[in-house]
Structure 1
Amino acid sequence: MDLAMVGLGRMGANMAERLVRGGHRVVGHDPNEEVMARAAEKGIESSATLAAAVDALPTPRIVWLMVPAGPLIDKLITELEPLLSQDDIVIDGGNSMYKDTVRRAETLQKRQVHAVDVGTSGGVWGLQEGYSMMVGGETAVVDSLRPLFESLAPDADKGWGHVGPNGAGHFTKMVHNGIEYGMMQAYAEGFAIMERKDFDLDLHQIAEIWRHGSVVRSWLLDLTADALEKNPSLEGIAPYVSDSGEGRWTVNEAIELEVSAPVITLSLLERLRSREPDSYGDKLLSAMRNEFGGHEIKKG
């Protein structure tokens, strides 16, 4: 199949390369010329403009967006609208908020252009391992794209699926990432407890033991073991954990749906707490303990 890949950052470029390996033709577009040059070395055709990328495709055209969630996607869709024709397909493979995805799909449908949302997991390992993809959109349209998903997935019939209408793919990926927050936090807390104990535990060894036969084995544990092997003391790593938005959206959705999600919620709050080098709240707690009980205040 022929398609345009817009946005050739690390993940977009890796996905495009995997598609080329699968026998598909990919016309790439990215504003960064160095990125485009690297993509060309991997068999991805180069296009200087979005319009040229679209024009290079046979109809119905497939345009796959791999750009950060937010206003940039709206800007690209606005630019694409006059370039597209009836039955063309726009795929958003990033981590967009599903409500935005539903809105964008409705906008494109007015021009008789199809929208598909692909919640994509796999990160930097996806090129060699394959990608997990949660696909939202019209059934007939998703079916027409099956060869692309089969090439990107770990196996043709594994790791991807059509989960529902427009928005369902990104909604499912949002919850996926919320679960990821909770799992990561549990691993972090468990290893922190072991690191604190005076048994002189080899945490990399323990991670390797747990990777085989244990009920807590997972790909995240595999990556934890890799990290501990490379840097057992985690030297040079600041205790600052970012979040990319999906955890917040998951917590907000849980509140809207009145679903109790304490693990995901607390894991998000712990990430926020990690960014407080000088916590006013903790200082106030210490002051309160001194006021009601005369407890000693540790001077900063």
Structure 2
Amino acid sequence: MQLGMVGLGKMGGNMAGRLRDKGHEVVGFDFDPELRDVADLAELVQRLAAPRTIWLMVPAGAPTRETVDRLAELLEAGDLVVEGGNSHYADDRRCAEHLRERGIGYVDAGVSGGVWGRQEGYGIMVGGDPEDVARGEPVFTELTPDEGGYVKAGGVGAGHFVKMVHNGIEYGMMQAFAEGYELMAASDIVDDVPGTFESWREGTVVRSWLLDLLVCALREDPGLDAIRGYAEDSGEGRWTVQAAVDHAVPAPVITAALFARFASRQDDSPAMKVVAALRNQFGGHEVTASGDDAAENSPGS
């Protein structure tokens, strides 16, 4: 199959490489001249035979919307756009309608696999009209592992909705591993924390790819001394929590994991200053400059 790929960064570039490895023709565009095959979107469209399929792997939000708007001017009826970034599902519906007015199909594809995807395969979660999804299936199935990993989740927006939920679950799983690591490291009971995680990779109910990746990180840096305790959020964790609110679905684990990432960005938490001040007021728990609690066991608290 011939495919245009817009965005050849860590994800898009590896996806293009996996498809080329499997015999597909991929024509790529990126703003980095070192990565691209064509100079601009117009040349990309010219290089592809109709009906064209173009896969987008650009940042969500305005960059994706602007790219879709430009392709709407360049493509023809019968062409197909696959949005493989992390767009919000409501944006998918707007983009799909915009292209549909011109007879151009649209499929939203949630992609998971990170930098390991070229070798291991990706998880592909798509949403769209059945005929549009069917056109893209030769690519969807080649990107996934031989054992599976591809799902048609529903209509337009469903692919990115389930990818959003997937990432919310990922937040919770990562936070649980992180808290378990900190607890074992803080105790005077466990002598080999990295070895413990290594042992969990076989036979236990928590074995997973995330656990494998944590073990890799601990092999490289057992105390994680070279890593700063700061974690960004991609935006999808926030969207997941908002969707839970919108649908009145309790999601305390995902919500707590998101808030934990916010806390990681505070060198000296204002909220914890308030807690410390209140403890001092009612119980005399004054924290010294060294961090010691001057009235740790005082009565009345």
The answer for the alignment partner of 1:144 in structure 2 is 135
Report the Cα distance in structure 2 between the residues aligned to 1:168 and 1:188, rounded to whole angstroms.
30
Q: C-alpha distance in 2, partners of 1:252/1:266?
A: 13
Aligned match of 1:54: 45
The residue that corresponds to 1:222 in the other structure is 212
Pick the aligned partner of 1:296 from 252, 272, 286.
286
What is the CA distance between 1:169 and its match in structure 2? 0.1
Match of 1:270 among 240, 254, 260: 260
Q: Which residue of 2 aligns with 1:83?
A: 74
| Residue 202 (structure 1) aligns with | 192
CA distance in 2: counterparts of 1:106 and 1:252, whole angstroms: 24
Q: Does 1:166 align with 2:159?
A: no
Which residue of the partner structure matches residue 110 of structure 1?
101
| Residue in 1 that maps onto 2:297 | none
8 Å contact 1:203–1:228 — kept in the other structure? no
Deviations 1:246-295 (A, max 9, x none): 00000000001000000000000000000000211111111111112222
- What is the aligned partner in structure 2 of residue 40 from structure 1? none
Q: TM-score normalized by structure 2?
A: 0.94
Structure 2, gaps ≥5 residues long = 291-301
Shift of 1:297: 2.7
Shift of 1:57: 0.7
**1: distance between equivalents of 2:261 and 2:268?**
15
Tell me how far apart the structure 1 counterparts of residues 247 and 181 of structure 2 sit (CA, whole Å). Answer: 33
Offset of 1:35 from its aligned partner?
Answer: 2.5
* Deviation readout 1:149-189 (Å, 9 max, x if unpaired): 1211101x610011100000000000000000000000000
Q: By how many angstroms is 1:3 displaced?
A: 1.1
Partner of 2:296: none
Distance verdict in 2 for CA 1:166–1:213, change over 3 Å: same
RMSD after superposition: 1.1
Contact 1:133 1:160 survives alignment (8 Å) = yes
Q: CA deviation at 1:143?
A: 1.2
Contact 1:29-1:48 at 8 Å conserved across structures: yes
Distance 1:242 1:198 in 2: 31
Task: Give SS of 2:184's match.
Answer: helix
In structure 1, distance between residues paired with 2:23 and 2:120: 17
In the other structure, the counterpart of 1:69 is 60
Q: For residue 17 of structure 1, what is the aligned residue in structure 2?
A: 17
Deviations 1:41-98 (A, max 9, x none): xxxxx11111111111111100100011110011111111111111100010011111
- What residue in structure 1 maps to residue 270 of structure 2? 280
Q: What aligned pairs does 1:130-141 form with structure 2 within 5 A after superposition? A: 130-141=121-132
Report what 1:119 is aligned to. 110
Matched residue SS, 1:34? coil
**Contact 1:134-1:170 at 8 Å conserved across structures:** yes
Report sequence identity in percent.
52
Q: Hey, what's the Cα distance between the residues in 2 that align with 1:203 and 1:35?
A: 41
Equivalent-residue separation in structure 1 for 2:35 and 2:72 (angstroms): 25
Equivalent residue of 2:273, what SS?
helix
Matched-pair contact (CA < 8 Å) for 2:29–2:35: no
Quote the residue 2:248 is aligned against: 258
Distance in 2 between the 1:22 and 1:35 partners? 20
1:296 to partner: Cα distance:
2.1
CA contact (8 A) 1:54 1:83 kept: yes
- Contact 1:120 / 1:132 at 8 angstroms: preserved in 2? yes
- 1:181-222 alpha-carbon deviations (Å, 9 max, x no partner): 000000000111111111352122111110001000100000
The amino acid that maps onto 2:208 is S
